[in-house]
Amino acid sequence: MSEVVSYELKDNIGVISVNNPPVNALAQAVREGILNAINTANEDASEAIVLLCEGRTFIAGADITEFGKPPQDPGLPLVLDAIENSGKPVIAAIHGTALGGGFEVALACHYRCALTSAKVGLPEVKLGLLPGAGGTQRVPRLTGVKAALDMITRGNPISASKALEMTLIDRIVEGDNLEAGGIQYAKELIGSGAPLKRISDIKIDPATVEPGFFENARKHLAKRARGQIAQDRIVSCIEAAVELPMDEGLERERELFRELVTSSESAAMRHIFFSERQAAKIQDLPKDTLVRDIKKVAIIGGGTMGGGIAMCFANVGIPVVMLEINDDALQRGMGIIRKNYNITVQKGKLSEDKMEERIGTITGTTEYLDIADADLVIEAVFENLELKKEVFTKLDAVCKPGAILATNTSYQDVDAIAEATARPQDVLGMHFFSPANVMRLLEVVRGEKTADDVLSTAMRIGKKIGKVCALSRVCYGFIGNRMLGGYGREAQMLLLDGCTPEQVDSVLENFGMAMGPLAMSDLAGLDVGYKARQGRADLPEDPRLYRMGTLLVEMGRHGQKTGSGFYKYDPETRRRDSDSEVETLIKEEAAKLGVEQRQITDEEILARCFYPLINEGALILEEGIAQRASDIDVIYVFGYAFPVAKGGPMHYADQVGLKNVYDKICEFRERYGEQYWKPAPLLQKLAEEGKTFAKWDKEKEVG
């Protein structure tokens, strides 16, 4: 039939088998092969057709490398029409995952069966797209409008049992012989005279949709997914499924899909999709680098961070020992873990039994000797270099040879910490983000003497616990927090120049940030940044620098925890409100410092906050702290809530144009001086050459 699709007649059942590893993506050859096989089956002696896949999964989606390229015939809609209009029943037999276009192929079939372990879903929204081959029209016809909207706008796969419950599949095949089960199901359908069940024949009764449902959905999704236009377009498609005949609904879906596939939002989200996978690859690490076996993990410190890290390992069944300084601290830490798990249980995302099983993998101790046999030890004590060095000296004395010793520091010198041991080759940074059991990013910090196998093990274990790993070399704040300095600095400088806190934050939030920088400072605690600045000798002597944050702390306004910071907060709901007292204080301080306040545009706020990020990112690339510009984007999307629809700060800079970014930084240098506005040489070079950070990444990878 073709190299990637075969057809065979087995006991009067035509079996179409797709074999396009690794995930049986719907490449042109697969589409053509399925179309030819359907046509052949309709002409031969077969009584029914079973469509299945070889390898580890059913068709797991479209071939996204084809996006943005001229379309190749046959298009997927043509293939699906041939399946649905077949004169013989077509049964999709699903194993692994049937995602995106793969699930749309299954939905075009007349019946669907699946192994118990299978999952199905339409994840296109995570790439800034919508299902473009009937998914938005067929799913609501099967499972109802509300369930369909939730499934498609979230993009998460569902289990075979859930899919059966939602009537998205018709049967679960027991055992693991899918082909035999699919053929048996086909024979039963023939024997019972089952009709050709075409989803396109189903009509949705508009009376089943509550008045205002689609309008409310749009408002809700606009808040939940800032800047992601795909969510709105999905609502429009499902609305079409209710109001229009199938063929018109399909045309509306294709029209909106074509709009999205060329959108900047989808380009940004696809950039992050590929960058996430690229970030896990370490350029100079030999492919045959060994990985150490991690069977037991120890966490030093049972606070919020330590407990969250312990949960990450417990969630995948790796035994954890959590060490605290005394029994009270230990019990408090174990209590926090139980409380966090209880919240997950109350949300219906975890059973009581599973909770107890996971908690059972975490044991507590106050004795260092109890962690002597740990394969990986992660220190999560306070951000104090001397304290951390003291901990590592103790670890060096008790931990077995070959144990990996990791610090969770977010700022401190990993090499200085490593030198507190006699085994710096076993030391590295594993910077989790708070709350560690929720945030997906793990910044893996490579020390000067970190061994290759230690590094590869950290990246591997990070993946196992569900983290997105990105590599950093050692510098103050590593990649993410180092870049954040200019962002926070300018947010506060803008206040002195004439902005209100609400103006700064609303501009950044409208851009897509989950929370503006000043509101975020209030949430984290203004005293945290205040204390961190006290120990820094590298900060310039500038009375404007973090002036407002410092004043607020000295007034006892530490942020949400004290009820006031840049904003005042409702004690029960923690809802923020503008505070006239703060606005008056800002004006008074500006006058004292001789700063003439003025009206500031939204465009300037964005540039003042984001261009320092971009400029520092360019310096980080030059210094070799980050491997790639795309790694920086991954860090900011997964660790700092930079909007995925903007693709991260470096991708955003490419879209703005590096020449424009460079010119604006030069303009700010003329206005504010070179102290904070000195263009990075790499940024200047790329701007002058008309290149992008993406191009720089590609040339570096090839070189």
For 500-515, the pLDDT digits (tens) are 999 999 999 999 998 9
How much is the pLDDT for 319? 98
| Residue 536 pLDDT exceeds 90 | no
Q: What token pair was written down for 326?
A: 């005394």
| Residue 409 pLDDT exceeds 80 | yes
In three-state secondary structure terms, 374 is coil
Give the closest residue to 97 by CA, choosing from 53, 137, 64, 132.
53
Residue of 32, 84, 104, 379 with catalytic role: 104
Please list the residues that pair with 299 across neighbouring strands: 322, 378
Please report the domains of the chain, with CATH numbers, ordered by start residue. Answer: 5-261 (3.90.226.10), 297-478 (3.40.50.720), 513-599 (1.10.1040.50)
Which residue reads 């649905």 in tokens? 84
How much is the pLDDT for 703? 63
With b for 16 or more beta-carbon neighbours within 10 A and e for fewer, the 195-215 pattern comes to eebbbbeeebeeeebeeebbe
d(Cα 551, Cα 336) in Å, to the nearest integer? Answer: 33
Averaged pLDDT for residues 464-489: 96
Nearby residues of 620 by Cβ (< 8 Å), 6 or more positions away? 475, 479, 482, 483, 626, 632
Q: What token pair was written down for 414?
A: 């990993």
How much is the pLDDT for 533? 84
Give the closest residue to 181 by CA, choosing from 77, 278, 85, 50.
50
Q: In this structure, are residues 493 and 517 in contact, taking their beta carbons and an 8 Å threshold?
A: no
179 in active site: no
Residue of 124, 239, 265, 616 with catalytic role: 124
Sign of the Cα pseudo-torsion (143, 145, 146, 149, in order): positive
pLDDT band per the 50, 70, 90 thresholds, residue 701 = confident
Q: What token pair was written down for 671?
A: 């206005």
Averaged pLDDT for residues 140-148: 97
For 604-616, the pLDDT digits (tens) are 999 999 999 999 9
Q: Sheet of 158-159: strands edge to edge?
A: 97-99, 119-121, 158-159
124 in active site: yes
How much is the pLDDT for 163? 98
